Amino acid sequence: MKGDINEKLLWNAEEEERVRNGGRDETLKEKIWRETKKMWVVAAPAIFTRFSTFGINVISQAFVGHVGPTELAGYALVYTVLFRFANGILLGMASALETLCGQAYGAKQYHMLALGQEDSIAEMAGTIARWSIPVVFSFIPSFTCQMFLQAQSKNMIIAYLAAFSLSIHVLLSWLLTVKCKYGIPGAMISTILAFWIPNIGQLAFVICGGCPETWKGFSFLAFKDLWPIIKLSLSSGAMLCLELWYNTILVLLTGNMVNAEVAIDALSICLNIDGWEMMISFGFLAAASVRVSNELGGGSSKGAKFSILNIVLTSFTVGLVLFIFFLSFRGRLAYIFTESSEVAAAVADLSPLLACSILLNSIQPVLSGVAVGAGWQSIVAYVNITCYYLVGIPVGVVLGYVLNMQVKGVWIGMLLGTFVQTIVLSIITYRTDWDKQVSIAKKRINKWFVEPDQPGANPQNL
């Protein structure tokens, strides 16, 4: 049976494409067009979904910001610290599923598939944090279902549910916060519902027949050979936690500066804009992860390399356009979140750094997606520790506090860490032996393949 799997892996995407082209090799134009279509099948719904999901927090923050500046700072603190900490852990665990599902699907083995803040801000953050508990728990089914569906390019159902949830959130936020004047409780009730509605829809889609090839019901085989999956999950969690917590530390450092409320408000607005743009990059991250894992699982090293090049160039082009856009608008975007001219002026002052972050973010997440697709999470975790916590944060502290550059200094240090990380990941990706990565993917699939004649085995179950 394992010999059959090896034969399937050798019959890779390139050979299948030659058959479809009547035995001739593809031209470069045909290859680019084919890869671009495959990329956007994953990237477009993923971008829309992440854009919509992140939009839930942006909309909540916009409504909260018009309640008052202290409420805005409190929400920003809770969102940046609590949500990013939870996202790092849970998204990291789900990232392991993304590697395994993506490589198995490519091989057609479907069965595989609050420190030191001002008292007023801290008290408000405590109130909002209690309301945020149901939101944190919503991430568990959300990320797991998304990775499972995304690996099979079934992203449209996720996008439809995200659009529906976002629409409901806008309506409820206006109704409860503006019309009924419920303030923070009204905004948070709407936020909780907005995060849980897609979860119910995704679970119903999977269980009720939306994935006939990969879901045949619950099976105890899901608990077989869990240790390799746990190790990959821990590596994924470390990789993404170190990355997502990086900006959290930026906000915590800002909370100890002079005029902290304005500093946190301005920084949170910039990070929200930066984060919304990051959702586009995360869409390309998803595309890179799925395309690389599918190509490695399908036995095509050339296909994996071509996918990486195509996605990096596409994402960078989008980032360059947004870089120019945000340099042009500067502080005017701040009035979406606040009525304070002081906060808007602080945002305008930070806009050049925001634009540089957006440009860097158009490349770095894609390279992280390549790492997820290939299963390099543990390597990237070490890279993140070095670049972020031994370079970025120390330099930021020196510039911000010792040289008294305040928020700008801290952010410049953070940007330096991201820049170094991007360079290191680029070198790792360029020097990788992709034929060897195909062999590693093949061994991984063979190791977890379950013989169909084993007692109680159902090879279609994940």
Residue with tokens 């500066």: 257
Tokens of 342: 């002081």
Q: How far is CA 189 from the centre of its chain?
A: 24
- On the question of pLDDT at 449 being above 90, the answer is no
Domain containing 380: what range?
A: 47-213+220-448
pLDDT of residue 320: 92
- Count of domains for the chain: 1
Cα 366 to Cα 282: distance, rounded to the nearest angstrom? 7
Closest CA to 150 of 208, 200, 87, 214: 214
Q: What is the pLDDT of residues 146-197, one digit of tens each?
A: 877 877 777 788 888 988 998 998 899 889 888 888 888 888 899 899 989 9
Q: Within a domain: residue 34?
A: no
Residue 304 in domain:
yes
- Give SS3 for 56: helix
Q: Closest by alpha carbon to 47, among 279, 274, 379, 262?
A: 279
Rounded distance, CA 412 to CA 349, Å?
13
Confidence of residue 461 (pLDDT cuts 50, 70, 90): very low
**Taking a C-beta distance cutoff of 8 angstroms, is the pair 109, 445 a contact?**
yes
For the cut 50, the answer to whether the pLDDT of residue 336 exceeds it is: yes
CA distances from residue 335 to 64, 166, 268 in whole angstroms, order as listed: 13, 21, 13
In DSSP notation, 213-241 reads TT--S--GGGGTTHHHHHHHHHHHHHHHH
At 416 the pLDDT is 92
Q: What is the mean pLDDT of residues 394-404?
A: 88
pLDDT value for 193: 92
Domain annotation covers residue 26: no
Does any domain span residue 6?
no
Write the CA distances from 277 to 282, 283, 340, 362, 451, integer angstroms: 9, 10, 24, 9, 45
Nearest residue to 273 via CA among 311, 221, 312, 322 = 322
Q: What are 62's two structure tokens? A: 């916009």
- The rounded distance, in Å, linking the Cα atoms of 446 and 462 is 14
- Domain assignment present for residue 343? The answer is yes
pLDDT score recorded for residue 86: 53
Of the CA atoms within 13 Å of residue 311, those in its CB half-sphere come to 34
Is the residue at 426 inside a domain?
A: yes
Q: Which long-range contacts (CB under 8 A, 24 or more apart) does 424-432 make?
A: 424/383, 424/386, 424/387, 425/364, 425/367, 425/368, 425/370, 425/371, 425/380, 425/383, 426/363, 426/367, 428/376, 428/379, 428/383, 429/308, 429/367, 429/370, 432/374
| Nearest one of 212, 284, 388 to 36, comparing CA atoms | 284
* Residue 85: per-residue pLDDT: 53
What pLDDT is stored for residue 104 in this prediction?
53
Tens of pLDDT along 233-283?
A: 666 666 666 666 676 676 666 666 666 667 777 777 787 778 778 888 888
pLDDT level of residue 423 (50, 70, 90 thresholds): very high
pLDDT at 420 exceeding the cut of 90: yes
Mean pLDDT of 410-426: 90
Interatomic CA distance for residues 149 and 436, integer angstroms: 27
Domain contains 2: no
The residue type at 319: G
Residue 455 lies in a domain: no
Please give the Cα distance from 153 to 147 (Å, whole number): 10
